[in-house]
Amino acid sequence: MSRTRPSGGGPGTIFPRCGDSRFPPRARTVQKGGVNDPVRQLYSEQRYPALSHPVTDISRLAVAARVAGLQRPAMPSSCRVLEFGCASGHNLLPLAARYPKSEFTGIDYSDTAIRAARQAAYAAGLDNIRFEVADLEHWRPSHPCDYLIVHGVLSWVPDAVKARVMDLCGQVLSDSGVACISYNTLPGWSLRRDVVPLVRALAASPAAAGLGGSVGSVAAALAGMAGSATPHAYDLKAVCKSMARKGSEVLPFDDFAPVCDPLYFAQFADWACRRGLRYLGEARLQDNLPEGLDPACWERLAPLAADPVLFQQTIDLLSGRTHRNSLLCRQDAPLEEATTTAVVLHFAAGRGDAAWPEASGEPAVAKVFREVLSAVGNDVLPVRDLMEETAGRLGGGWDPTRHSQELAGWIFQAARIGAIELRSEALVIPRGSAGRPLLSALNRHFSRNGQPLVDPRHATCRFPAGHEQLLAAMDGSTPAEELEARAARDFPELDFPRWLAHLADRGLLIPEEGGVESFISD
Ligand SMILES: C[S@@+](CC[C@H](N)C(=O)[O-])C[C@H]1O[C@@H](n2cnc3c(N)ncnc32)[C@H](O)[C@@H]1O
């Protein structure tokens, strides 16, 4: 069975040594300063948008960690999850609803955000989640966790808090615990870092009023003006477009936050190493093989597996990536020498977002497997069941040993490019009736509070302003015709039947109260 390519400091590779000084940390300008801490000030004055992040879905984290060689990541259906900087809990709450036997804890120093999170937990009847108001700088863990989520924090807090967050990671992970930490990366982020002060100055200058007056509109205007005559103009356009896409709700907390420090991977790996932590790989399998890199380049880079930091830095340079969601485990965590592609037999698979791998080199069984997967629609089903169905379709043409190996290798490669989604357990998308539409209690609470919904794949679902009133009324008691009449009166532009079908497709309409939990099967 074929061996997996090294995804980082994973199995069989030497972990980055501590104190690697080839990529020196940059000097910082913002320090933590009590009541004058600009980060704290931002979160007390402005409300951070409620977001859920598919990359932090523990079902996917378990797969990514296992693929990277961690022997026994905890089962999402029975584990302890901690989130640092959880804001109003939009990320953690849907996971707590999906896994009622697991325990979830969210920490944030914003009491407004934590109040909102507690209200949502109460409204949804969740008794397996708690939220604490605490400054991470002084917080002490009381028990280990199996999954630690640190999303949107590390690059955006002063240095003292960065150090503390890394210290806590080193202290809080269970023996097979996994931390997922997001941060902006160098050198990909460097152009953006140079663009930010200029965009800020233009947005503040009366002389540049024609550019719109907000950082988002200035970025959009610059994207329009940049042209594409030179590589610089091309890159600048891309950076400004991406800034504008983030929108005015997110930009003050992201590119234009009081602290926004991109890191070299080497710096991150060094911090982790000093705390007894090991880099496993990226949380999204496809990020271990960044888009745009020619497959031939992997063959040429293969010898660099002996120097994982240089390997990762070279990938970051070649791909120009600006962001990572890196997984860490304890250095003494049980790792497999080298994982094989047979690991996929333990997971569930569904259709991913990316195109299928080149059909030319694929084994004949892969074609049948693709047909099986297409018939499954949006669901994610155990790989063994999908293989059995494939074998059934092939009849006498299925050679159990050869074909299951070939298919495992193909599924693994398809997952590495994002054409197949792998999860730790099956996910059957709920198919509620559109007769009397019903949203989960949590999503009804979100819509009553003007917050986006979260679908079963843990993705944020936004709808135009005002539509949340219609969503909040989807409590299973109001017939669709009545909602349609309301929609026709209040939102004449809305094609209600089509919208309802869209909600059903995304798995937002559940068959019955409590049905939101029932869509996972072990
Ligand atoms: C950018 S938001 C990220 C929220 C969420 N994790 C997400 O990714 O959507 C950062 C969060 O970290 C919190 N935070 C920042 N510094 C903190 C500290 N020292 N202690 C506790 N929370 C902190 C902020 O209040 C804010 O809610």
Per-residue pLDDT tens over the stretch 248-258: 889 999 999 99
**Cβ atoms 424, 105 nearer than 8 A:** no
d(CA 297, ligand 1 centre) in Å: 37
Whose CA is closest to 86, among 56, 122, 61?
56
| DSSP character string of 196-216 | HHHHHHHHH-GGGGGG-SSHH
pLDDT number for residue 18: 63
pLDDT number for residue 182: 98
Q: Which atom of ligand 1 is nearest to the CA of 56?
A: 8
pLDDT number for residue 12: 33
If one residue of 32, 55, 109, 132 were mutated to test the ligand 1 pocket, choosing by the most ligand atoms within 8 A of its CB, it would be 109
Q: Which residues have a Cβ under 8 Å from the Cβ of 399 and sit 6 or more positions away? A: none
pLDDT number for residue 19: 59
**Cβ atoms 145, 120 nearer than 8 A:** no
Query: Domain limits of the chain?
Result: 47-187+262-330, 190-248, 348-423, 441-521
CA distances in angstroms from 73 to 66, 339, 368, listed in the order given? 7, 14, 31
- Determine whether the shortest distance from the Cβ of 256 to ligand 1 is under 6 A: no
Tokens linked to 422: 């792998």
DSSP state letter for 175: E
pLDDT number for residue 22: 53
pLDDT number for residue 433: 73
The rounded Cα 257 to chain-centroid distance in angstroms is 20
If one residue of 88, 104, 131, 153 were mutated to test the ligand 1 pocket, choosing by the most ligand atoms within 8 A of its CB, it would be 153
How far apart, in whole angstroms, are the C-alpha atoms of residue 276 and residue 354? 36
pLDDT number for residue 9: 35
d(CA 242, ligand 1 centre) in Å: 22
d(CA 85, ligand 1 centre) in Å: 3
How far apart, in whole angstroms, are the C-alpha atoms of residue 426 and residue 448? 30
How far apart, in whole angstroms, are the C-alpha atoms of residue 83 and residue 153? 10
- Determine whether the shortest distance from the Cβ of 193 to ligand 1 is under 6 A: no
Domain spanning 47-187+262-330, CATH class = alpha beta
Residue owning the nearest CA to atom 13 of ligand 1: 85
d(CA 340, ligand 1 centre) in Å: 37
pLDDT number for residue 212: 86
The rounded Cα 79 to chain-centroid distance in angstroms is 19
pLDDT digits 0-9 by tens, 454-494 = 999 999 999 888 898 999 999 999 999 999 999 999 999 99
- Determine whether the shortest distance from the Cβ of 87 to ligand 1 is under 6 A: yes
214-245: b (≥16 Cβ within 10 Å) or e? ebbbbbbbbbeebeeeeeeeebbbbbbeebbe
Which residues of the chain, if any, have pLDDT below 50?
1-16, 24-30, 35, 515-522
d(CA 136, ligand 1 centre) in Å: 9
pLDDT number for residue 34: 52
- Determine whether the shortest distance from the Cβ of 152 to ligand 1 is under 6 A: yes
Q: Which residues have a Cβ under 8 Å from the Cβ of 86 and sit 6 or more positions away? A: 92, 106, 107, 108, 113, 117, 131, 149
Q: Which atom of ligand 1 is nearest to the CA of 32?
A: 19
